[in-house]
Amino acid sequence: MMAFLLPSERFLVEFLGTDIPLDDLVYNACYEIPDLIVLTATTRTAELELELMQEKLNQLRNVPFFG
């Protein structure tokens, strides 16, 4: 839903899909150098995976991450 709403507020959104592998997300973040990464989770298991992603993404550079 955010991917559809943010452009109306003049944000450029690149939707990478619902099940992107972590390594692909990291590669994309290195290549695109985003201002912000937003990921959502609907289960506790997915929430724990987001915490692992955040640790890995924090090592890349100072990109704000919301999960």
Q: What would the 3-class secondary structure string for the chain be?
A: CHHHHHHHHCCCCCCCCCCCCHHHHHHHHHHHCCCCEECCCCCHHHHHHHHHHHHHHHHHCCCCEEC
pTM (2 d.p.): 0.65
Which of the two residues, 45 and 2, has the higher pLDDT score? 45
pLDDT digits (tens, 9 = 90+) for 7-66: 898 888 888 888 888 888 888 888 888 888 888 888 999 888 888 877 777 776 666 666
pLDDT at 55: 78
Residue 3 tokens, joined: 């991917």
